[in-house]
Amino acid sequence: MKVREFQTEDTPQLVHLMSQLGYPTSLEKLESRMANIHSQPGYHTLVAVLNNKVVGMAGLCHNLFYEYDSCYVRIVAFIVDIDHRRKGIGEKLIHEAEKWAIKLGATHIMLNSGNREERKAAHKFYLNMGYTNKSTGFSKSLEDKHSLKSTKRP
């Protein structure tokens, strides 16, 4: 198993992983999404490959702190194929993400993980990797606001 940078031809194999992560999508949508993501300089995607098959992915984003004079990396997407968990793949992906963060001079690396029952094993994994449960995240959809904006006239 090796971890390497994402390549465009990996996208079809990521469709299945995104579904396992809880975000089903089509190949066309994911191709567009990945093109948009990789047009941004602060984003970086790693994939874990075993026997020429993508079995894991870490989507990373480099940001600046408001509260400190340094930068951080956020793991914004992280998944290991359900058939390949508990084999060290996630650990290797995390270590490679941390190496990338250190290379950029980041002082912290962080992630959010949903509070759903199926995420409990992931939470235990993150704790075992040295991450701390430090905050509670909140989310609000703005999709309805976008549709209102497009129908209003100035």
pTM confidence score: 0.84
Average pLDDT over residues 16-43: 95
**The residue type at 99:** K
pLDDT at site 101 = 95
Work out the mean pLDDT of the chain and round it to a whole number. Answer: 89
Residues 6+ apart with CB under 8 A from 33: 25
In the chain, what are the helix, strand and coil shares in percent, each to the nearest 5?
A: 40, 25, 35
| Tens digit of each residue's pLDDT (9 = 90 or more) over 37-93 | 999 999 999 999 999 999 999 999 999 999 999 999 999 999 999 999 999 999 999
DSSP element (H, E) containing 146: helix 143-151
Helix extents (H) in 23-142: 27-38, 89-103, 120-128
pLDDT at site 120 = 80
**The residue type at 5:** E
Q: In the CATH scheme, what is the code of domain 2-151?
A: 3.40.630.30
